[in-house]
Structures are given as structure tokens and as C-alpha cells.
Structure 1
Amino acid sequence: MRARLELFASIRRDARIEGLSIRGLAKRYQVGRDTVRQALSDPVPPARKTPVRSSPRLDPFKPAIDAMLVEDTTAPRKQRHTARRILARLIEEHDALELSYSTVRDYVRVRRAQIDVEAGRRVEVFVPQEHAPGAEAEVDFGEVWIVLDGVKTKCHMFIFRLSHSGKAIHRVYPTQAQEAFLEGHIEAFNEIGGVPVKHIRYDNLTSAVRTVVFGQGRNRVENDRWVLFRSFYGFDSFYCQPGIAGAHEKGGVEGEVGWFRRNRLTPMPVAKSLEELNDRIRYREAEDDQRRFDGRIRTIGHDFAAERPFLAPLPAEEFDPGLVLNPRVDRSSMITVRMVKYSVPARFIGRRVRVSLRASELVVFDGRAVAARHQRIVAKGGQSVQLDHYLEVLKTKPGALPGSTALARARASGSFTSAHEAFWAASRRVNGDAEGTRELIDVLLLHRSMDAADIQAGITAALRVGAVSADVVAVEARRHATTSAAEGGPRSDRHRGAHAQAKVQRVVSLTQRRLMDPAAVIAGLPSDSRPLPSVRAYDELLAKRAEHPAKTASKENIS
């Protein structure tokens, strides 16, 4: 078609500029005179006629094929004729051995659609829609695979998409349970700074819908917690038709799931945690604000900036998306939630505690205060144990620490560092196993009120001066925090009154230093060759007391 357009343009130009005749133009361009006349009369070339191909072999069997297709209009969807089945029946019933599959297939493709229309069957037609700013949004889940901490793991991506601007929020969770469903909404509302004023479109997710009421339009029996959540944020829900028939009713988010997975999560992302992955996704979402789609002139970010003022404001308080449970703490100071065990402080043994099970974490409350916090474990039979929850018990039973599960998990997570190991070994060498372990536990208790970096610096300083005492570690840790603040470190707002005392003589325990490994010698401190203190000289008093028992007794009687 393009070549004929250029040919017609050239003919018309030469006729206009050079004044060539029809015969001269036909000779120049090697075309017929009728073609030249067409070009001079109309700049648009006539459409080429597609010859109607006859199929003499198929014509005798068309009535039989049409009968089968008419029969399909009332047959169950999964028991309708395919082109291959029609060909098989023609061969069996009409001895049509000369027919090919491609001939039957091409005829069935066209004729089936015509018969459906003639039979009055509904033909699906998609009508373009306009969405008012801030009025509607769509929500869906999609599966994604990631390499999580070295393990290939299937996760679920929550997607919230504003219908007007196309602004989308994506968050990856370990499950698509109701906790993740609600937490994804809260993240999206906080990110866009408001709530759609009309409704949000959904599939019939079990996180929101308990029962689909067939025969009553779009009526659904919703979960009580979901109804409470909608009431809290003040929006309505719109449920699409079940199955594939309703997929087009929220086509924007359906397409967003595939686009984001192909363009932002391919190849499989590698992350240490879901928090790290979601932080990267937030960065990607900011980049997507510069994207255009559907042939729009403006970017997503530009349309969202215009849409944002039309959103309803957020409530003053934030909804707790966690599932509230009340498990009992067993004798191992553990609770069981969804077939997974989590440790809590030992003081709760035998009591019931309030637990908020969220999409990515589990929070244990003591009244309104947070007593414990764990990263959520999805695998059934798993355990999450924190060493801090057992320190009071280990203080009275120090022999249980070396083989404890809590210590093994602390070492695996890196919270029990090589500095702790060195302090423990030095403390046991000086104070014995039991007392040395108690000193270590006192050091671990410092983590509840001090930063880990300060405590590690305190341990290093204490070992350098030959002191294996938790008190020395605490003093050195506070000195390190004060020095960091004085030098404009990250804690510059702490210990303001102690900045002038940053340079203070370090605490040195000579006795412990003498008992430790000789290699641990302070630089610049002279060697101590004095003998250890002894009370042998005072034993002579005991001998004199034994030589005069009568005098001693008489003095006691007189007194």
C-alpha cells in the first residue's frame, strides 16, 4: 500500500509540474494508462480486491458443520465441538476423507462467531471507561518468586492502583492472608496520602468475602474484620464477577501485576529480607512516576499530583492490621501461633498474652507496652527464639547457656558477636564457669538500655585493660557513647552534660589483669612482679592464742 501511495504521488507531481500526458506518465513509470487515470483522479489508491476463494471439497459438508455449531450454542461450555472433533465426525459420519484439518479449521473460526450472533448469544464487548480523579482504585495479589536469604521462596505481591492516574503501590509479603491484605491497604493509603472517595474494586478474595451470594447481583457476605476496616477508613467495596468473566472489570491492576513483575522483578530479586526488597520497590515506584501509558501525554506522577487533592483524608489514628490472638506461654517461655513457636520474656510463663499477628512480624504486648517482637515465620514447625528473653533464668542457671537454643540462634543471627565470645572466654578463665557466665549475662543485659555498638566498644576496651567485669564494660560503653556524641556522631543529642569529661583515665583491674593471659598487657603499663597478697604472717596470732587459753578465758569471764 505504501509503494502505491508513493507511485500515485509521483504521477500527480509530474503531471502538475511537467505537464506530461497520460501516455508519457505511463511510459515513465511503466504502468498502465488506467493506473495513471486513477492516480490523477484520486490520490488514494483503490483497495486491492481479495479474491473469494472457493472450497469445492468443503461445500457439500457445510450444512453438517453448521448443524454441529448450532448444537454447540446450547451445549455445556466444556463439551462443545472443536475443529478437530468436527473433522473426525465428518470422516466417521459422512466419509469426508479428502478434507484437510486446516480447511475445516478456517471455516469453523468464521462460522462459529456468525452462528453465535444469529442464535442471540451474548458477545462480549469492552466499552472504554473514564474514572474521576480520586474516586476509584483497584486491588489484587500476584505471585512472585524471590531469593530470600539464599533460598528460592514464593511470596505474594499486593498491588493497589488508582484508576484515574495509574499510580500504583506494590508490597511483597510472605502470605496473602488477611493481615497482609489489610497491611497492604494501610501502606497504600499512607503512600498516596488519602483514600478513594467512591469505591475500590476487588476479586472475591477470602480476606474480604466469606460468601458469594449468587443470583443477587454483586451482593457478598463480608468478613467482620474487613467491614470494620472499611468503616474505619470510610470507603466502599466493589466486587467483580467471579472467575474470568470479571477480570476485565479491574483490567488496570491485572495488567499492572504482569508489567511490574516482568520489568521490575525479573530476574528473580535477591534480598536478605522482605523489608530490604520493599525498600527497593519504593525506589522503583518513584521511577515509575515518569512513565506514560495508554498513549497519554502526561506522566503518571503528573496525573497523580493533580488527583491527590481529590482523595479523602486519612483518619487521625492508624488501624492495627494484625490478627489479635491470646496464646498461653508454656514452660519453655514460648507461645505457639499458626503452628510456629515464638519466645517471650520468661516472666510471662503460665500466662496468656495478647499477640498481634501481622503480615511480616509478630508483636507481643504486655498491656499497651511491647514485650516482644519477632519477624514472622511462615513455615510450619519453625521457631524464633531470642536470647534476651531467657537472661533472668540463665542468671540463676548459668550452666544452661552453652547448649541453649537461644544462644545458637543468637550466634546464627550475628547478635552474639566475637566480642561477646572473647569476653565470655576471658571471664570463665578468671572467674570460673558459673561466675564467668553470670558476668557475660550482665553484659548482655546492658543491651536493653544501651546501643550494641557502644557495648561492643566497651567489651573491647575492658579486655584491653585486662578487666572482665560487666561494670567495667558499662563504664567503657558509656564513655564510648559520650565520645561519639562529643565528636558529632549519630548520638550527638545524648549525654550533653558529659561532653567535657570525654577524656578520663580508664578503669584497670590489676588483680584480674594478673590472672589473665600474659599476652593481654596494656601498652605502656609496667609489668607487675609483686607476689600475690598472703595472710600467712597473721597465722602467728592464732598460735599465741592457743598458748594462753586460761588468760583468754578469764578475760572473757571478767568482761
Structure 2
Amino acid sequence: MKLRQDHPIEVAAAKADLSRATGYRIAQDARLPSQKTHPRARRRPDPLESIFDAEVVPLLKEAPGLRPVAIFDEMLRRHPELSPGIRRTLERRIRAWRAVNGAEQDVIFRQVHEPGRLGLSDFTDLSGLGVTIAGQPLAHMLYHFRLPWSGFEHAHVILGGESFVALAEGLQNALWSVGGTPHQHRSDSLSAAFRNLDAEATSDLTRRYDALCAHYRMTPTRNNRGVAHENGAIESAHGHLKAAIRDALLIRGTADFADLVGYRAFIDEIVGRRNAAQGKRIAAERACLQALPARRTTDFEEVIVTVTSTGGFTLRKVFYTVPSRLIGHRLRVRLYDDRLEVFMGGTLMLTLPRGRAQPGGRHDQVVNYHHVIHALRKKPMALLNLVYRDKLSPRPAYRRAFEALVAQLPEKLACRITVELLALAHDRGCERELAEELDRVLDGGLIPDLVALRRMFGPDPADLPTVSVLQVGLDSYDALVATAGMGETA
């Protein structure tokens, strides 16, 4: 058409590489061929014509979150004559209606990260991986820290739920691992830690979190509750890390570990390999981090408890046994995620594994038979209805032995033999070996013979002979000195 302004139709068509006839046709009507065709009319009736505006649209307006498949089922219930084949048509029609009339949706704004500015913390559940410790399922979470600019990661296995103690321990391990602190720290508001807490407890956790960040000169920030994509720089990394752990477990061939230490080393190795791939960027960001303080800060919660006449104390719906000599004393207990450190004054008395209340809120027990066996030997019948009888057995073999003895012997005798078996394991230090022997005896359909087991695992200390040591007179040493002097003179 531009050429037509200066040339006749024949010349303009030739210059535009068109035929003469096409040139005359365009001169008469400049519309494209696609603009000249009329839209094809519907060739079959619209199955949704009578119900979409009258019934479907009101549902979409009243319940914007309603799924198309639910609307489809409802329409089939109201109109049985409708064909099931209209489902895709209905879904497309609903999608098109929402594009025009639907509510506004959240928009994710991608961020530019600066080195050394931000560190992210979050928790993710790993129970679905099927990890076991010595054959027992391990319900656990993973504390995950990440520097978004370089991709540095740190992960720490958490046995309980989200809590300040777990955050403080994992965060400090991460900061000392990377060798510096970012200017800001972002978390997900510790939603699980604050749930069901009163205002005073919530305020206390907030103060402790602020003090933790102040110790490392970080500005604490939190994303809005329930808005996971605000922590997207670590939420997406959860999936990649869990996929790497899952692959490593498949390559390993088993998800069972001998102990928790071995499993934590396994996680550390995976995270270490991922960090090695980002070594140059991590080194560059490390130069932009703030210096670490001179020491770590508190990563535990401290509670005062009193040991009762039951030989222990109850803390957070869990009963813990301690040596009976501590009955009546007030103890200072430091709660970590996986352990309790028990102090009397400034002296560390013992370390206990941390227990958790049962899912239904019922109390649980953490029992060490070494703490109560001496008292139980005086009252063996107390074992029959003992609240923590099942937790008293250090290994399943001892529980099997009690059940077999109760089934075949009077209750009093069965309790006495079971208590003596525990005492034998305590006195002779043969807990594992005795358990293996008990399994062998029970698998053979027999019951334990206490006399034979005592003979097998060493002599009774009461039967050992008394050894009297005669003291040597000091004059004999004088004689030795004199003899040594004569030899030197000679």
C-alpha cells in the first residue's frame, strides 16, 4: 500500500512481489482474508446454556474457592439428564469466567539478594523418609538455615517440634559453621512454638528471640503467618534438600542407622557436598558477613524441679527418673532439643535423653533402671502394676522375659525373677549379653533360669574370696637402698 502511493497498481504489485490480479483485489478491499470470513456458528446445542448463568455463576460468586469438579458433581446431582462428558467443557467455561470476573490473586515479587544481608531459618518435616534408628521409627524434623545469595546451607536434625530451643541451637550451629552473621535474620514467626501459649509465655519467647538476634547483631524479621512464599528462598530449597536426602538413602540401600549420631553425620555429609558445589560464592559472601561474637549464647531453656519420693521429677508431661540420693533436692534442668542436663548448684549431676508427651497429651516416662533397681529389689511386687513397667526394661528381651514368667509362674515369683535379672544386668554390666541370652532361651520355648544365668555371667560378688594384703615394713625399703648404694660403690 505504501508503494501504491507513488506507483500505479501494476508497478506497486510487481515491487511487492504480488501478481497484478492480487494488486487490483487489494486496491478494491484492503482487508485480510481472515478478516473477510465470518465466524463459524455453533453446530450443536450448548449443554450449559440453561444452567451456567443461572446456577453455576451464583455458586462461583458465593464460594470463590469452590473447585470445578465439585460444581460438576453438583450439576449432575441437580440435572441427572446431563452427560458426564461435559466436565471438561464446564471446567474451561469456569476458568474463562474467573479470568474475567474472578477475584484478584496474590502476586509473588522476586527479590534481588545482596551478599551478607539476609539469612533464612525454617523447619521441615522428614518423617516421610522412613528413617529408623536401630529399627525404631524416628519422628523428626530438620532445622534448615540458608544464605540466599551464595546458597550456603546448614541442617540440624530436630527430635521435637518447632521451638525456640531448636531454633537457637540450629541457628548458632549454622552461624559458627559459616564463620559470620548476616545483617538480617528471617524466620516463619515460630508458629508452632507460639501456638496455644498465653500472652506472657509468647512475650517471653519473643524477648528471648530478640536477645538471640541482638547477641549476633542481626535484625530479626518474620514473614506473615501462613504466607509461605514470603520465605520462598528457603521453602523451595526444602524440596531440593529432601530430594537429595531421599536419593542418598536409596543409594545407601537402607534408611536404618545404628544411632542418632550416625544419622546426623549422614545429613552433615549431604549438606557439606551441596555447600562444596557453591564454594566460590560462599567464600565471596563470607567476606561480607559480620564477625562472630566472642562466644555462643544460651540455646537451652532452664527450669527448676524438685525430685519427689517417686525417685524422679515430672517436666512437660514427662516423668524422669534420677538417682534416689537426689530425692528432696531442687535441681536446675537445662532443656535442649534432644537432652536434659541436670545440675545441682553449679555441678552437672547427669544428662538424660529428652522425652516428649504422647500425641494425645498423655504423660510419658523416661526411665533408667539403674536409678531404681536397688529400691525395686526390696519391693519386687511393685513391678506388677508399676506405671512405667514397660519403660523400665532397657531392651525388649527383658519385657519378653517378664511376660513369659507371668504366664507360667506365680506373679510374686515372676516379679522377683524379673527384678533379679535387671539387677544382674546392673551389677555385672552385661545388659546386652544378658538380653541376647534371654532371647535365645525364650525362642527355645523355655523360661529364664536365674541360677544358671548368674553362673554364666560371672561369680556372685558375695562369693568372691576376701583378699588380705599385708603391708610391707618401711625398714625393707631402707635395706634395698643400702644394697643399691653398695652396688654403685663397687
1:129 corresponds to 2:111:
yes
The alpha-carbon distance between structure 1 residues 239 and 75, as it changes in their structure 2 partners (threshold 3 A), is farther
Matched ranges for 1:418-429 at <5 A: 425=459, 427-429=461-463
Q: Which residue of 2 aligns with 1:159?
A: 144
Any conservation in 2 of the 1:198–1:235 contact (CA below 8 Å)?
A: yes
Q: Which residue of 2 aligns with 1:372?
A: 350
The alpha-carbon distance between structure 1 residues 191 and 212, as it changes in their structure 2 partners (threshold 3 A), is farther
2:337 aligns with one of 359, 367, 378: 359
- The separation in 1 between residues aligned to 2:322 and 2:281, in whole angstroms, is 48
Matched ranges for 1:131-150 at <5 A: 131-145=113-127, 146-150=131-135
Query: Which stretch of structure 1 is more off in the superposition, 401-410 or 160-169?
Result: 401-410
TM-score by length of 1: 0.54
Q: What letter matches 1:331 in structure 2? A: S
Q: Which residue of 1 aligns with 2:262?
A: 276
Matched ranges for 1:471-490 at <5 A: none
1:349 corresponds to 2:327:
yes
Q: What letter matches 2:459 in structure 1? A: A
Q: Which residue of 2 aligns with 1:311?
A: 289
TM-aligned CA deviation for residue 55 of structure 1: 5.1
TM-aligned CA deviation for residue 405 of structure 1: 5.7
- Residue-pair matches, total: 362
TM-aligned CA deviation for residue 287 of structure 1: 0.8
Q: Which residue of 1 aligns with 2:62?
A: 75
Q: What letter matches 1:257 in structure 2? A: H
Q: Secondary structure in 1 aligned to 2:221?
A: strand
The alpha-carbon distance between structure 1 residues 321 and 427, as it changes in their structure 2 partners (threshold 3 A), is same
Any conservation in 1 of the 2:302–2:334 contact (CA below 8 Å)?
A: yes
The alpha-carbon distance between structure 1 residues 421 and 187, as it changes in their structure 2 partners (threshold 3 A), is farther
Q: What letter matches 2:312 in structure 1? A: M
Q: Which residue of 1 aligns with 2:221?
A: 238
- The separation in 1 between residues aligned to 2:180 and 2:365, in whole angstroms, is 38
Any conservation in 2 of the 1:196–1:312 contact (CA below 8 Å)?
A: yes
Q: Which residue of 2 aligns with 1:173?
A: 158
Any conservation in 1 of the 2:116–2:289 contact (CA below 8 Å)?
A: yes
Q: Secondary structure in 1 aligned to 2:341?
A: strand
The alpha-carbon distance between structure 1 residues 338 and 96, as it changes in their structure 2 partners (threshold 3 A), is closer
Any conservation in 2 of the 1:209–1:221 contact (CA below 8 Å)?
A: no
Any conservation in 1 of the 2:164–2:205 contact (CA below 8 Å)?
A: no
Question: C-alpha deviations, 1:356-408, integer Å up to 9, x for none?
Answer: 01011110112223111122233653324274x689x89xx9x9997386765
Any conservation in 1 of the 2:146–2:154 contact (CA below 8 Å)?
A: yes
1:263 corresponds to 2:248:
no
Q: Which residue of 1 aligns with 2:391?
A: none
TM-aligned CA deviation for residue 209 of structure 1: 7.6
TM-aligned CA deviation for residue 159 of structure 1: 0.8
TM-aligned CA deviation for residue 330 of structure 1: 2.6
Greater relative contact order (CA < 8 Å, ≥ 6 in sequence):
2
Q: Which residue of 1 aligns with 2:87?
A: 101
- The separation in 2 between residues aligned to 1:77 and 1:241, in whole angstroms, is 23
Structure 1 portions without partners, runs of 5+: 1-33, 35-51, 214-219, 292-299, 436-466, 472-559
- The separation in 1 between residues aligned to 2:88 and 2:105, in whole angstroms, is 25
Any conservation in 2 of the 1:204–1:242 contact (CA below 8 Å)?
A: no
Q: Which residue of 1 aligns with 2:400?
A: none
Matched ranges for 1:278-297 at <5 A: 278-291=264-277
TM-aligned CA deviation for residue 315 of structure 1: 2.2
Q: Which residue of 2 aligns with 1:430?
A: 464
The alpha-carbon distance between structure 1 residues 383 and 306, as it changes in their structure 2 partners (threshold 3 A), is same
- The separation in 2 between residues aligned to 1:373 and 1:353, in whole angstroms, is 12
TM-aligned CA deviation for residue 324 of structure 1: 0.9
TM-aligned CA deviation for residue 335 of structure 1: 2.8
- The separation in 2 between residues aligned to 1:414 and 1:178, in whole angstroms, is 41
2:228 aligns with one of 247, 254, 274: 247
Q: Which residue of 2 aligns with 1:445?
A: none
Any conservation in 2 of the 1:356–1:364 contact (CA below 8 Å)?
A: yes
Question: C-alpha deviations, 1:99-146, integer Å up to 9, x for none?
Answer: 722222223223322322xxxx32333332111111112222111132
TM-score by length of 2: 0.61
Q: Secondary structure in 1 aligned to 2:191?
A: coil
1:110 aligns with one of 72, 96, 99: 96
TM-aligned CA deviation for residue 355 of structure 1: 0.4
Q: What letter matches 1:403 in structure 2? A: E
- The separation in 1 between residues aligned to 2:255 and 2:331, in whole angstroms, is 37
TM-aligned CA deviation for residue 305 of structure 1: 1.1
Any conservation in 1 of the 2:338–2:353 contact (CA below 8 Å)?
A: yes
Q: What letter matches 1:337 in structure 2? A: L
Any conservation in 2 of the 1:69–1:112 contact (CA below 8 Å)?
A: no
Any conservation in 2 of the 1:138–1:161 contact (CA below 8 Å)?
A: yes
TM-aligned CA deviation for residue 336 of structure 1: 2.6
Any conservation in 2 of the 1:72–1:81 contact (CA below 8 Å)?
A: no
Q: What letter matches 1:277 in structure 2? A: Y
Larger Rg: 1
Q: Which residue of 2 aligns with 1:484?
A: none
Q: Secondary structure in 2 aligned to 1:165?
A: coil
Any conservation in 1 of the 2:369–2:422 contact (CA below 8 Å)?
A: no
TM-aligned CA deviation for residue 164 of structure 1: 1.1
Structure 2 portions without partners, runs of 5+: 1-18, 20-38, 358-362, 381-415, 438-453, 470-490
TM-aligned CA deviation for residue 323 of structure 1: 1.7
- The separation in 1 between residues aligned to 2:312 and 2:79, in whole angstroms, is 73
Q: Percent identity?
A: 23
Any conservation in 1 of the 2:140–2:158 contact (CA below 8 Å)?
A: yes
Any conservation in 2 of the 1:57–1:98 contact (CA below 8 Å)?
A: no
1:226 corresponds to 2:209:
yes
- The separation in 2 between residues aligned to 1:232 and 1:414, in whole angstroms, is 49
Any conservation in 1 of the 2:151–2:275 contact (CA below 8 Å)?
A: no
The alpha-carbon distance between structure 1 residues 227 and 53, as it changes in their structure 2 partners (threshold 3 A), is farther
The alpha-carbon distance between structure 1 residues 127 and 424, as it changes in their structure 2 partners (threshold 3 A), is same
- The separation in 1 between residues aligned to 2:198 and 2:343, in whole angstroms, is 36
Q: Secondary structure in 2 aligned to 1:130?
A: coil
TM-aligned CA deviation for residue 208 of structure 1: 5.8
The alpha-carbon distance between structure 1 residues 98 and 327, as it changes in their structure 2 partners (threshold 3 A), is closer
